[in-house]
Amino acid sequence: MKARKLAGLVCAGGASQSFLARMPVLLERIGPVKGTSLRVSRRIANGLRAGTGVADWAPLAACALIWIAVPESSLDSVCAELASAVPLAGKMIVLCDAMRDSFWPSPLRTAGARVAALSCIPETRERVFVADGHPEVLAELRKLLGQEGRRLIELRPAAKSLFLCGLHLSADLLLPVIAGAVESLRAAGFSRDEATRTVEAIGTKALRSYAKAGPKAWKRASAERLHRAIAQDLEAVRLTDARLATLCMAGFQAALSFFAPESGGRSHSSRGIFKVARGTR
């Protein structure tokens, strides 16, 4: 294997769960595999059917590209050990599925490495990735992913937190709203299946509307309609399930704050509803 094409892998186990395990173009370039011990290194290499398990960091010195796939909790210590054991000036290093971006003040950058952070976008069946970092590493990632038939979206510098925020909003933080909508319909008499399909249809329409019109999809008429509906029904909802009333009120306030930030989330038409909300506590 030519030295310029040799890649190393630093992994703490569980490599079969990483997207790396399903990227044959990448795996065929793997040489040394470094785990927490020689036994672990060999087990990782055997599991991936790629590379050779090694006992120490020295073999990674021959690698132009080094992949790091370790838990977030051990990333700092792994990077510090690598930087102290291997000359990294000019080497390309890819942090796989790390929460942080490539611009954090790590020992890797201090040692002169060219760093990028690569993450797979959930629910894309590992077909779409995002990355930030050194332009040369990004170019290499784009080439490798292209050979795999995958797509790379390049993040703006230091924008990893915005990417993660988008994921949280579209999953964990959206889930309470979805649950609230479904449970409201169920309490009104829908079956779970009927409620779920209704929320899916309405939510899909809202997403398509935003995809087409952006922020203009939220209209003043929407705020006024919601104001009237919540002012009229909030107390009845609260008597049935106080959590749903709180969720509905919080969602309304969040919508006003996001789409009309100049009003501080309290447009003229919303003042009465906040009085109603205070009365429901």
> Nearest to residue 27, comparing CAs of 115, 148, 146, 140?
148
How many structural domains are present in the chain?
A: 2
- Would you put residue 66 in left (φ > 0), alpha (ψ -120 to 50) or beta? beta
Domain endpoint, select from 157, 188, 208 = 157
Q: Residue 119 burial (CB < 10 Å; 0-12/13-18/19+)?
A: buried
Q: How many CB atoms lie within 10 A of CB 263?
A: 14
198 with 65, same domain: the answer is no
Beta carbons of 272 and 228 less than 8 angstroms apart: no
Q: Would you state the pLDDT for residue 112?
A: 96
pLDDT in tens, 158-202: 899 999 999 999 999 999 999 999 999 999 999 999 999 999 999
Residue 24 lies in a domain: yes
Residue range of the domain that includes 191? 169-279
Report the distance separating Cα 170 and Cα 166, nearest Å. Answer: 6
241 with 141, same domain: the answer is no
218 with 96, same domain: the answer is no
Residue 163 lies in a domain: no
Q: Would you state the pLDDT for residue 226?
A: 84
Which regions of the chain are under pLDDT 70? 1-5, 261-281
42 with 99, same domain: the answer is yes
Q: Would you state the pLDDT for residue 261?
A: 65
23 with 144, same domain: the answer is yes
196 with 221, same domain: the answer is yes
Residue 226 lies in a domain: yes
Q: Would you state the pLDDT for residue 262?
A: 53
149 with 174, same domain: the answer is no
49 with 152, same domain: the answer is yes
101 with 231, same domain: the answer is no
Q: Would you state the pLDDT for residue 97?
A: 92
| pTM passes above 0.75 | yes
